[in-house]
Structure 1
Amino acid sequence: MVVLLAAARNASVPLLPDLNSKLHASDSTPWTIVFVLTLITLLPAILMAMTPLVRLTVVFHFLRQALGTQTAPSNTTLLGLALMMTWFLMTPVLTLVDQQAVEPFRSGQITGMEAIDRGAQPVKHFMLHYAREKDLALFTAAGQIQRPNSPDDLPMRVVIPAYVLSELKAGFAIGAVLFLPFLLIDMVTASITTSIGMFQLPPVVVSTPLKILLFVMVDGWNLLASSLLKSF
């Protein structure tokens, strides 16, 4: 009996380090889950802030307001179209990210942090290409960052908000130009209905079908998509 107890005690000694190593190896698992869930939560904001989705959604909103159709096309339709156009525009950038960061990380050539740094560079260059110098200077001064030797030296916390401001400005500029012909139709329709004494029928009831007809006749969706793609 004593021999069996001694053997069991000796056999349990080497098992303790293995048990401890297994427990300590899984300590980072909850933090990994928290990080992934946080990233998934912030993914829509990241997608909105670092892609052409900002400009596209602003322009589509102005178009629907100019046409006078409150719910047609629906938000889901416009968002789906904006996402597909964003995917189309970002395909070259995503290809570079895959070549420079994802594939080396899968093959074990680089670590996770190195993959993040490498993958951020193509996206950063894309945003710098469309970010205005005025907006970059604004956030550089607000962040008390020394003047860089080149725009590539700017951190992402400066590039991302500057890019969003630049895209908002571009989207509003396109939307204003898009709004003008439809506003002209509204003004002409209101003048005609008022001059002939048609006060019982609101001018918007007459102008909305005319605006939709004009938009369809000139193949407006094709022209709008072509103009938006050429703006990048």
Structure 2
Amino acid sequence: MVLSLQIMLPVAARIEADLSGHITKVPEDSIDGARAILKVGWAHLADFLEANSQPADVSRIVERVRGEAHVSVDPRDPRILIPAFLLGELREAFILGFVVSLPFLIVDLVVANILMALGLQMMAPTTLSIPLKILLFLSVDGWHLLGERLVGGYST
């Protein structure tokens, strides 16, 4: 949650800076005022989503929506950018999960082979591999690497 706030803080600051002029000009109870505020906010959010979405995902969703509605579709429309961004995030999450779990799988295989070579078939490999995995994660500063990868992948 804190990393999400850190990533979105520049976008929120730009929205707030643009809205500071709009709020004084628009009555608070006006529906048109709310629309104007949402339009300004969406412009900055759309810039963020567009910068962090893969063009292939955007074009795939544009084609799907265009095929369903049989109308022209703006690629900056929320029903295009939000799913495209989420698809990219899911793809990155699976890649990150694989990259993180691969060294742990190697530790499991090495520990199991060493225990078999020593003739300790009755000893559960997880008894030895879990402390080794924790030690490996801490020795390579895993939290720092994970946080860097999560935050560094966004352009704001």
Distance 1:178 1:231 in 2: 16
1:163, CA displacement in angstroms?
0.5
Give the TM-score normalised by the residue count of structure 1.
Answer: 0.58
Partner of 1:108: 25
In structure 1, list runs of 5 or more residues that go unmatched. 1-82
Partner of 1:146: 72
Partner of 1:129: 51
Three-state SS of the structure 2 residue aligned to 1:95 is helix
Distance 2:80 2:53 in 1: 10
1:105, CA displacement in angstroms?
4.2
Give the TM-score normalised by the residue count of structure 2.
Answer: 0.84
1:213 aligns with 2:131: no
Partner of 1:90: 8
In structure 2, list runs of 5 or more residues that go unmatched. 28-32
Distance 2:58 2:152 in 1: 23
Distance 1:161 1:175 in 2: 21
1:179 paired residue among 101, 111, 115: 101
Letter in 1 for 2:135: L
The structure with more radius of gyration = 1
1:199, CA displacement in angstroms?
2.2
Does the CA contact (< 8 Å) of 2:65 and 2:73 recur in 1?
A: no
Three-state SS of the structure 2 residue aligned to 1:119 is helix
Distance 1:147 1:89 in 2: 29
Three-state SS of the structure 1 residue aligned to 2:82 is helix
Letter in 1 for 2:117: S
**222-231 vs 127-136, greater mean Cα deviation:** 222-231
Distance 2:94 2:80 in 1: 22
How much is the aligned-residue C-alpha RMSD, in angstroms? 1.7
Three-state SS of the structure 2 residue aligned to 1:200 is coil
Three-state SS of the structure 2 residue aligned to 1:107 is helix
Letter in 2 for 1:161: P
Give the fraction of aligned pairs with identical amino acids, expressed as a percent. Answer: 29
Write out the 4+ residue segments of structure 1 that deviate beyond 3 Å after TM superposition: 145-148
Does the CA contact (< 8 Å) of 1:105 and 1:115 recur in 2?
A: yes
Distance 1:105 1:147 in 2: 28
1:170 paired residue among 92, 115, 119: 92
